[in-house]
Structure 1
Amino acid sequence: MNNKEEFFKKIKNNIERDGFHITVVQTSENPRFAYTIGNLEKLQFELILAGNENYLYEDILRIFNSIVPKLSKDINTNEFSLDVNGLGIFRLKQIHDSWSKLMMLGVYDYYKVEGFRAYQILPDNKHYTLDIPDMSIEWNANNIIWRWLDDKIKWNLDVPQDSQIVTEVQVLFGEKITEITRWEENEWEGFTQNGEDVDKDNLRVIPIATLLGIDSSLEPILSLGIEKGLWREDENSEWKSWD
């Protein structure tokens, strides 16, 4: 049995057991995203949650498993709202098919369809992070955070393609990094405060392109040497070397 056959078997088993399958995709270039396979049969649409790296893997599963049982094929998605305890209030918004063609390949492969309806799961303002795309409008390559969904686009950042940064979840909500260090060719750490004071539960690992898409003032970090660092007083201050 090849990998695709094994994948389809797993999907089929999950649909038979749970009603749907959840695919979670994590790459080093794009934020994590997750989508369903199997709702097309009973709901006539699928769901996707993109970005929101503030949520942990277990949170993502709980969001899907809370929302799907509340849906029906004749539901008014424009009026849908659900409070998932501790994670926020979620609504649905129909996505442009350009996104599904780049992100929801498992649905196309499993059902052998040329197109289908899909809705993006969106959180309330309190939980809305800057890595969340507006999937209701056509995808385009101008958004550095999600540009790399298209594997035909050549990586043009002067760092390895698998470059990532360890940072605080607050950065995803717009707080500015004030100190940053490059530890390896493809690894940085950046914090809004003294790194020793950071709550470990608030740490997240995100792609370097995501970070630059959130805050373009961080571009100088791309030319940092290994074990070199930068700091600034605040978001309006110039970067200074640790040396």
Structure 2
Amino acid sequence: MSAKRFLGRKVLMTGAATGVGNVLMHQLLAEGAIVVAGDIESSIEKTASDAGCVGVVADISNAAGCRWLHEAATAHFGAPDVLISNAGFIVPKPILETSEEEWDQVMAVNAKALFLLSKLVIPGMLEGGRGSIVATASISGMVGLGSQAAYCAAKGAIVQLVRQLAVEYAANNIRVNAVGPGAIATPFLDRYIDAQPDPKAAEDAVRAAHPMNRWATPQEVGNAIAYLASDDASFVTGHILMVDGGYVAR
């Protein structure tokens, strides 16, 4: 593995303000990438600037926000070589308590954003003769989980879109993959646990559900995304790399 796997590569990524995305942003920069990092949080501008790249505040749940982010990237470095669709959103409710608006928002941030951003970056990848797209799926896209009606559906949609795009563009040297994390020690997980009726019991249950009896670190998931995005995975496409401590192997 080269210490500069991404030297000169132009990376457009989402969900970069905190957690896995933030750790990954720093890793990609250290490995030579040119990065435009998007997030809905306004802090992304300073966070990215301090790290040495461009941060863009964008709501990628709709076409206008995705276009805004893509236009910022192309203005900065031209057509992206790599897309990392990492932004996520969850409403932890069973289906009978999930409103249509909540369903639509969860689907939009997770699955629709991958659809919209892929449509924007693939033409440039086709012209450039190569590309890599990595999405963040989840154990929730592989198995059914309680109180995650919309989230399971959205992450499942990501899994199938990744597989479809991989088949569609394999002959064009565009690889499309995803990571499937279990629980990760991030603010995202904190919010999920805090929303449960008994947060302490929920925390214990989430940890115990993973055979390794712990949560992933953001760096562990970031390492997997970086691998799939890099030429180290040059013959890997259509794959969902589970980073879940054995969760779906049970």
| TM-score over 0.5 for the pair | no
Q: TM-score normalised to the size of structure 2?
A: 0.28
So what's the TM-score if we normalise by structure 1? 0.29
Q: Hey, which of these two has a bigger chunk of strand by percent?
A: 1
* Structure whose CA Rg is larger: 1
- Bigger share in helix: 2
